[in-house]
Amino acid sequence: MKITLRQKQLLKRTFIDFRCMSEYIQDPLIMDRAEGLYYWDIEGKRYFDAIGGVFVATLGHGHPRLLAAMRQQMERMTFAPPLHAIADVTLDFVERVGSISPGNLKYVKAFSGGSEATESAIKFTRQYFKQTGHPGKYKFISRYQGYHGATAGAMSASGTGPRKSKFEPQMPGFLKVFPPSHYREQFTSWDECNRFAARAVEDVIVAEDPETVAGVIMEPIGNTGGIITPTAEYFQIVREICDRHQVMLIFDEVITGFGKTGSMFAAQSYNVTPDIICCGKGLSSGMMPVGAMIAREDLAEAFCGTAAENGQFAHGHTFAGNPLACAVGIAVIDEIVEKQLEMRARRMGEYVRARLENLKKYDVVREVRGKGILLGVELVKSTHTLEPFPELGTQLKITALKNGIILRIDPTWFAVSPALIAKDSQLDEMCGLIEKSLVEALERVCEPFSRQEGRGISSSRA
Ligand X SMILES: Cc1ncc(COP(=O)(O)O)c(C=O)c1O
User: Which residues of the shown chain bind ligand X in the complex (CB under 6 A)?
Assistant: 113-115, 118, 147-150, 219, 223, 252, 254-255, 280
Closest distance between ligand X and the C-beta of residue 278, in Å?
7
Closest distance between ligand X and the C-beta of residue 280, in Å?
4
Q: Which residue is nearest to ligand X (CB)?
A: 114
What are residue 375's DSSP bridge partners?
Answer: 370, 416
For strand 46-49 and strand 405-406, is the pairing parallel, antiparallel, or unpaired?
parallel
Closest distance between ligand X and the C-beta of residue 252, in Å?
5
Closest distance between ligand X and the C-beta of residue 93, in Å?
17
* Nearer to ligand X (CB atom), residue 210 or residue 215: 215
* Nearer to ligand X (CB atom), residue 53 or residue 210: 53
* Nearer to ligand X (CB atom), residue 47 or residue 55: 55
Closest distance between ligand X and the C-beta of residue 258, in Å?
13
Closest distance between ligand X and the C-beta of residue 66, in Å?
18
* Nearer to ligand X (CB atom), residue 317 or residue 444: 317
* Nearer to ligand X (CB atom), residue 149 or residue 215: 149
Closest distance between ligand X and the C-beta of residue 11, in Å?
21
Q: How many CA atoms lie within 13 A of 236 on its CB side?
A: 8
C-alpha 165: how far from chain center: 21
What is the total residue count of the chain? Answer: 462
For strand 31-35 and strand 38-41, is the pairing parallel, antiparallel, or unpaired?
antiparallel
* Nearer to ligand X (CB atom), residue 129 or residue 251: 251
* Nearer to ligand X (CB atom), residue 112 or residue 273: 112
Phi, psi of 105 (to 5 degrees): -80, 85
Q: How far apart are CA 53 and CA 259, in angstroms?
A: 16
* Nearer to ligand X (CB atom), residue 115 or residue 156: 115
What are residue 226's DSSP bridge partners?
Answer: none
- Taking phi over 0 as left and psi of -120 to 50 as alpha, with beta for the rest, 299 belongs to alpha
41, containing H or E segment:
strand 38-41
C-alpha 315: how far from chain center: 24
Are 149 and 158 in contact, with CB atoms under 8 Å apart? Answer: yes
* Nearer to ligand X (CB atom), residue 353 or residue 408: 408
Closest CA relative to residue 46, chosen from 60, 33, 28: 33
- Give CA angle at 26 (21, 32), nearest 5°: 85
Closest CA relative to residue 341, chosen from 282, 406, 393, 400: 282
Q: How far apart are CA 127 and CA 109, in angstroms?
A: 15
* Nearer to ligand X (CB atom), residue 3 or residue 150: 150
Closest distance between ligand X and the C-beta of residue 309, in Å?
32
What is the arrangement of strands in the sheet containing 38-41, beginning at the earlier edge strand?
31-35, 38-41, 46-49, 405-406
Closest CA relative to residue 36, chosen from 46, 44, 28, 45: 46
CB atoms within 10 A of CB 110: 27
Q: How far apart are CA 18 and CA 203, in angstroms?
A: 34
Closest distance between ligand X and the C-beta of residue 148, in Å?
5
Closest distance between ligand X and the C-beta of residue 112, in Å?
8
* Nearer to ligand X (CB atom), residue 147 or residue 313: 147
* Nearer to ligand X (CB atom), residue 150 or residue 457: 150
Closest distance between ligand X and the C-beta of residue 26, in Å?
25
Closest distance between ligand X and the C-beta of residue 292, in Å?
11
Q: Give me the DSSP letters along 354-395.
A: HHHHGGGGGS-EEEEEEETTEEEEEEBS-TTT--B-HHHHHH
CB atoms within 10 A of CB 316: 13
